[in-house]
Amino acid sequence: MAARVAGARAAGAGGRGAGGKGARGDAGYADAQFGEAFSAGRVAAGAAATLALMLLVRVLVCEVPALGPGPGRAGAGGARPLGSAPHGVDLAQFVAEAEWKNDLVLGATLPETWRAAVGTWPRLLRSWLRNFIGGNLLYLSCGGLWMYYAYFVWGRDLFPKGGIPSVAQVRQQVHVSLWAIPIYSLLPSLAEHVVEKGWTVAYADLTVYSPLAYLALFAVYMAFVEWCVYWMHRLLHDIRPAYFALHVTHHIYNDNNALSPMAGLAFDPIDGVMQGFPYALLLFFVPMHMMTFEMLFFATCIWTTNIHDCLDGRCDPIMGAAYHTIHHTSYKFNYGHYFIYCDQIMGTLKVPKREP
């Protein structure tokens, strides 16, 4: 938060798009608001190339014995045939961790009379309930605290010319988000389920890789996530039916005075799941520590709170709120996730105008 507080209000270089109708206006924008339209063939070719590169990484890391995992504390036994995880001995630990997380969250939040009944549910349903409760608590607490400090504690300094969104706008963003969180919660729950089945290359024992190998695999995983989220987001703009069917729900907030930290999860639920899907997909291709994956997944909730507050923390090359505000007001720039690199490579970066 300190980085946000240090900055001034972002002045988007693109300003409001030609088709923008204000904070609560019509989101049926003119063609000029969209980027390049992609043919189905180009989309399929790009997806196939990305999947082929992911598969190459899996083969190199999981099928080449010299690059495979070591024994670790649990005795993980090196490479396995393609199609099965190289960490099969971790499956019991995955289950134990899931039960521990379920007991921790559900035990702390559910009335005692409910716990016995919920305890009879299949683990997948209990994990979904845990993620649903945790997602709500994280969204409401993080967004609420962010707004309290940004608008009430430091509001005069951060917004000297006004521009704080109205109560009605924030309430509408919360309403959309709370309806979507039950669907969002399915993705980490199903990811955990397939990991427990041994269908991925996730691992539970942090010691099977050296610290350097862990960091290298983490970097590869996040590079793929960044690339896939960029394209998922961009195609939701450039494929018109997808935009109007899904992504338009988020882009009704097309004025920086309408954005607030609570807009971070205000998506059509299918749209939100699609943009989070690369995190789960990469578990099949790049070895990732499961607890790290789950922390990353929920960190995204905090990140989306950050980038919708319209405050410029001047944290390049991170794709901060100043960049994302331009995205909301111009519609065809700054599609990136955490960093600006993919937009730089693909020519869709627009840098905020800043006072010297």
Instruction: Name the pLDDT band for 212 (thresholds 50, 70, 90).
Output: very high
The answer to whether position 331 is within a domain reads no
Domain of residue 244: give its range: 52-64+91-225+232-308
The answer to whether position 198 is within a domain reads yes
Render 51-119 in DSSP notation, one character per residue.
Answer: HHHHHHHHIIIIISGGGS---TTTT--S---TTS-TTGGGHHHHHHHHHHHHHHHHHHHS-HHHHHHHT
Mean residue pLDDT across the chain: 83
Q: Return the ∠ at Cα 263 (arms to 47 and 151), rounded to 5°.
A: 145
The whole-number pLDDT of residue 32 equals 46
Select the highest-mean-pLDDT range: 62-76, 78-92, 264-278: 264-278
Q: Is residue 53 scored above 50 in pLDDT?
A: yes
The answer to whether position 106 is within a domain reads yes
The whole-number pLDDT of residue 4 equals 39
Q: Which amino acid is at 221?
A: Y
CA 170/CA 331 separation, integer angstroms: 21
CA 60/CA 68 separation, integer angstroms: 8
Measured CA to CA in angstroms, residue 173 lies from 62, 64, 166, 260 at distances of 43, 48, 11, 8
Instruction: Name the pLDDT band for 87 (thresholds 50, 70, 90).
Output: low
Core vs surface per residue 322-334: b (16+ CB within 10 A) or e: bbbbbbbbbbbbb
Task: Please write the tens of the pLDDT for every residue from 311-333.
Answer: 887 888 999 889 998 998 888 89
The whole-number pLDDT of residue 350 equals 92
Give SS3 for 6.
Answer: helix
Instruction: Name the pLDDT band for 27 (thresholds 50, 70, 90).
Output: very low
More confident residue, 79 or 196: 196
Is residue 280 within a helix (H) or strand (E), and if so which, with residue range?
helix 269-281
The whole-number pLDDT of residue 256 equals 64
The whole-number pLDDT of residue 157 equals 85
Mean pLDDT of 299-315: 87
283 contacts 202 by C-beta, under 8 angstroms: yes
CA 60/CA 70 separation, integer angstroms: 15
Instruction: Name the pLDDT band for 95 (thresholds 50, 70, 90).
Output: very high
The answer to whether position 318 is within a domain reads no
The answer to whether position 76 is within a domain reads no
- Phi/psi zone of residue 274: left (φ > 0), alpha (ψ -120 to 50 degrees), beta? alpha
Instruction: Name the pLDDT band for 71 (thresholds 50, 70, 90).
Output: low
The answer to whether position 259 is within a domain reads yes
**List of residues 6+ apart from 275 with CB closer than 8 A:** 229, 232, 233, 236, 267
Q: Return the ∠ at Cα 8 (arms to 6 and 11), rounded to 5°.
A: 150
The answer to whether position 150 is within a domain reads yes
CA 293/CA 306 separation, integer angstroms: 20
More confident residue, 58 or 175: 175
Instruction: Name the pLDDT band for 354 (thresholds 50, 70, 90).
Output: confident
The whole-number pLDDT of residue 294 equals 93
3-state secondary structure 184-224: HCHHHHHHHHHHHCCCCCCECCHHHCCHHHHHHHHHHHHHH
Q: Return the ∠ at Cα 122 (arms to 91 and 118), rounded to 5°.
A: 125
Number of domains in the chain: 1
Measured CA to CA in angstroms, residue 258 lies from 168, 183, 211, 308, 342 at distances of 10, 25, 44, 10, 27
The answer to whether position 271 is within a domain reads yes
Instruction: Name the pLDDT band for 34 (thresholds 50, 70, 90).
Output: low
